[in-house]
Amino acid sequence: MPGARILGAMAVAVGVIVLGGTIWMAARGGPPPVSLPVTAEPVAARILSVNVTSDEILLAVAPERLIGLSVVADDPDSSNVVREAAMVPGRVSGDLEQILMLAPDLVVIGAHNADVARQAEDLGMRVFRIQGFESIDWIASLIRTLGAAAGASDRAERIVAEMANRIEAVRVRVAGRARPRVLLYSESGWVGGGRTTLDDVIRAAGGVNVAAELGITGWRKVSPEQIVMADPEVILLRDARRWESGFRGALLADPAFQSVSALRDGRVYGVPARLLVTSSQHIADTVEAIARLLHPELFRESAA
């Protein structure tokens, strides 16, 4: 068996934050994302995806090469490809024995499964570790990298182009409008500041990220008092079946928050959780969904 070989690695230090059962990853510095060279590697015929991000990308780029997906692919709170995932029978949860049984020639795995990735590499398996999650450009880079690994670069480029065109169409539509100050707020107190995909999304959707205004980089926990002082005009909450149950009602009823503009003006919105955790081409759905909440007057026609 050949020595362990890594298809590529994003040269970014990664922080992992657990929020209500899902993993949010925020870059903590490092160079901007780049497309990694993969042409020297043979095209992978049997790809195993052990991460919901690669599930979403590879189901669009090279579904015919997939032999298995992560267990998260079937979770409607975390996955944007529940229906598409039905075409691929295998499921893995990051267990090394499961991976070995499927005999992939490429394993795509998240940085939070670093120990499993190292073990797989030690056994001579070809592994690509997903790292980063800091920008829309990074997502485009990842789509191209996985497309090249699967011998589907043309398809990957089409997906990147469609994603970019949809996001640009939103930017054009909201250009020149007043930009509301927006905060994505978690029951556990985490907010996303600069150098996060969320910051890119809010700006593309025609808003100002309040957490970035506060000087926060990456993800950080803030106090209710800081939220009240920041006075966001819009608050976004994750809408999921099991996460943050009852949080919206508790927030709206909390006397401490009654002076916040978002509550006074009725601008506390739930966003499907799967859109807020995605790091695939589905980020275009996220931009569109948030833009409709921030600028409903611009989207009445398309919603009709």
DSSP 76-137: TTT-S-HHHHTT---EE-S-HHHHHHH--SEEEEEGGGHHHHHHHHHTT-EEEEE-----HH
Q: Which structure tokens are listed for 39?
A: 């042409």
The model's confidence at residue 246, banded by pLDDT at 50, 70 and 90, is confident
Write the DSSP symbol of residue 194. B
- Residue pLDDT, tens place only, 213-240: 999 999 999 999 999 999 999 999 998 7
If you average pLDDT over residues 116-142, what whole number do you get? 93
Tell the residue number behind the tokens 């795509």, with chain if given.
108
Q: What is the mean pLDDT of residues 111-134?
A: 91
Q: Tell whether the model's pLDDT for residue 184 goes beyond 50.
A: yes
Compute the half-sphere exposure of residue 210: CA atoms within 13 Å on the CB side of its CA.
23
**Binning pLDDT at 50, 70 and 90, where does residue 243 land?**
low
Contact 142, 289 (CB under 8 A): no
Residue with tokens 């120990």: 115
Fold of 177-303: Rossmann fold (3.40.50)
Alpha carbon distance 148, 79 (integer Å): 23
Q: Which of 7-11, 99-103, 240-244 has the lowest mean pLDDT?
A: 7-11
Structure tokens at 231: 């006075």
Q: Is 178's pLDDT higher than 60?
A: yes
CA distance 303 to 127: 43
Burial class (CB in 10 A: 0-12, 13-18, 19+), 132: buried
Domain positions in the chain: 5-167, 177-303
Residue 209 — very low, low, confident or very high, per pLDDT cuts 50/70/90? very high
pLDDT tens-digit profile of 60-79? 999 999 999 999 999 999 99
178 phi/psi in degrees, rounded to 5? -60, 135
Domain 5-167 has CATH 3.40.50.1980: yes
Residue count (the chain): 304
| 7-58 pLDDT, tens digit each | 333 332 233 322 222 223 333 333 343 334 444 578 999 999 999 999 999 9
Q: For residue 254, is pLDDT > 50?
A: yes
